[in-house]
A and B are shown apart, each in its own frame.
Chain A
Amino acid sequence: MKRLVPLVLCFIFGIVMIITQFSPHPYSKRVYEEVVSGALIISPFALVLATITLIQTHATRIRRRADHWPYSYIVFAGLITMVIIGVPLGPKDPVFEWLYNNVQVPMDATMFSLLAFFIASAAYRAFRARTTEATLLLVTALIVMLGNVPVGDLIWNTIMSWTPWADQASAAREWVLDNPNLSARRGIILGVSLGVISQSVRIILGIERSYLGGGD
């Protein structure tokens, strides 16, 4: 009951999803749409559970006076504000949109832009051309970056003025992206896809059971 029923459910839903995608019958399409809709209904409950876990974690931090515990109140403030405004009034509400545009979007963009600084220091360590592989990494990254910006054209033209490839920074970038880069990506995609398929077959057949966790 505790392990067999989940394995059977996993098998049924997996097989149904495979069959319905290969069958063009209208009844099959209807089943496919219903199962997709059902999965989309179940998923938000997982998000709510994750939120409860987040609240428990921060409540524990406050209770135990852990390091930086007062900031847990800030998490609650942000969460409660968005939920109180957004759930009853909807995401199109002007106040909710204001919060999204002036609080979430700027912080999101700034957090990611912060990585520009750290990536620069990581680049210094990674790009020291000590081996053939590191040199390839360095040269490719430089070509891609130079081909992306106008100042890159200027630098490229200055360096390559004596070669037949002068004024070709963007073309060089495109060639690198469309040929050697794409072939490596295709190799990775093919390998990953074969892995995903074999793992999916193992899950559907009940060979891979780690998602059930431990215990009975």
Chain B
Amino acid sequence: MEVFGIWVAAFLTLCIYSFLYRDNPLYRFAEHLFVGISVGYGIVLSIHEGFIPLAWNPIWASLTGESLAGLWKLIPIAFGLLFFARLSPRHTWLIRYPIAILIGFGAGIAIPNMLRANIFEQTRGTVAPFGAIYAGTLTPWEIFGAILMVVGVVCTLTYFYFSVEHRGPVKWLSKIGICFLMIGFGSAFGNTVMGRVTLLIQRVDFLLIDWLGSIGALF
């Protein structure tokens, strides 16, 4: 079964790489299979790791008399079922109820988390080294880095600040911000390239070692 699995994986890998030549039936086969398998996997996970432990098990415990608290879970289930109102043109508007709940939930959870993790922590991380500068524990190179950090953050924010016209000093701050942004995008690009090349090496390694090795094991 293991060797069969290697052959299936190798066949699908080669099907997808065949796209490098041009769009062809083998690639389309793999592409559509990937969509179906991924959606199926998502459904199975959301049922077994979401719906069953969070809703089905508490309700079952209520039905068997263990704990009546599980009956509360019928309320979110009822709201969830309203998603299927989308399938009836006359009742489509009912889908707004679960969407409104999820949107409100997401907006409410985002505000404190964004404030805490992205505003306060990032600002603290930007200005914290200045405490170390005051304490005299940083080298001149590290002090340069701390100053560069503040300059970069201020200039990048200035570039995205559209409430004033970008003229005079604001224009120059904005131009410096673009330079920092380009360095950020270059880093992101370099890391993405390395990540994709690592995946490519891993797939080629699989084909050369595992798949071709399995051919040798057959004889």
Contact = CB atoms under 8 A, between A and B. Distances in A.
A45 B157 contact: no
A183 B180 contact: yes
A47 interface: yes
Interface string A40-79: 1111111111011010000000000000100110111111
Contacts of A111: 16, 34
B96 A3 contact: yes
B193 A123 contact: yes
- Dominant SS at the B interface? helix
A107 B16 contact: yes
B108 to A, nearest CB: 3
Q: Which 7 A-B pairs have the closest CB atoms?
A: A78-B36, A82-B40, A187-B156, A183-B152, A17-B108, A140-B186, A144-B190
Given A10-B101, A54-B39, A190-B118, A41 B156 contact: no
Interface in A178-211: 178-194, 196-197, 199-201, 203-204, 211
Contact of A110 (B16, B28, B122): B16
A85 B173 CA distance: 59
B107 A14 contact: yes
Given A35-B105, A41-B55, A42-B76, A79 B40 contact: yes
A180 B189 contact: no
Given A123-B189, A148-B190, 15 more contacts: A6-B96, A10-B107, A14-B108, A22-B112, A39-B102, A42-B83, A48-B43, A87-B44, A103-B33, A132-B179, A137-B183, A141-B186, A141-B189, A141-B193, A200-B114
Contacts of A34: 72
A109 to B, nearest CB: 5
Q: How would you classify the secondary structure of chain A's contact residues: helix, strand, loop or mixed?
A: helix
A17 B109 contact: yes
A108 to B, nearest CB: 7
Contact of B97 (A6, A14, A39): A6
A158 interface: no
Interface of B: 1, 5-6, 8-10, 12-13, 16-17, 19-20, 28-51, 54-55, 72-73, 75-77, 79-81, 83-84, 86-87, 92-93, 96-115, 118-119, 122-123, 125-126, 145, 148-157, 159-160, 177-194, 196-197, 199-200, 202-203, 206
28 contacts: A6-B97, A7-B100, A10-B100, A12-B104, A14-B108, A17-B105, A51-B43, A77-B33, A78-B34, A81-B36, A82-B36, A104-B38, A104-B41, A107-B12, A113-B203, A119-B196, A133-B179, A137-B186, A140-B182, A140-B187, A148-B191, A180-B184, A181-B184, A183-B151, A186-B149, A188-B160, A193-B114, A197-B114
A200 B76 contact: no
A13 interface: yes
Interface of A: 2-3, 5-7, 9-18, 21-22, 34-35, 37-49, 51-52, 54, 68, 71-72, 74-83, 86-87, 90-91, 96, 98-117, 119-120, 123, 126, 132-134, 136-145, 148-149, 175-194, 196-197, 199-201, 203-204, 211-213, 215-216
Contacts of A112: 196, 199
Nearest to B99: A211
Nearest to A112: B199
Nearest to B82: A45
A31 to B, nearest CB: 12
A187 B177 contact: yes
Contacts of B37: 78-79, 81-82, 99, 103-104, 107
B108 A136 contact: no
Nearest to A149: B194
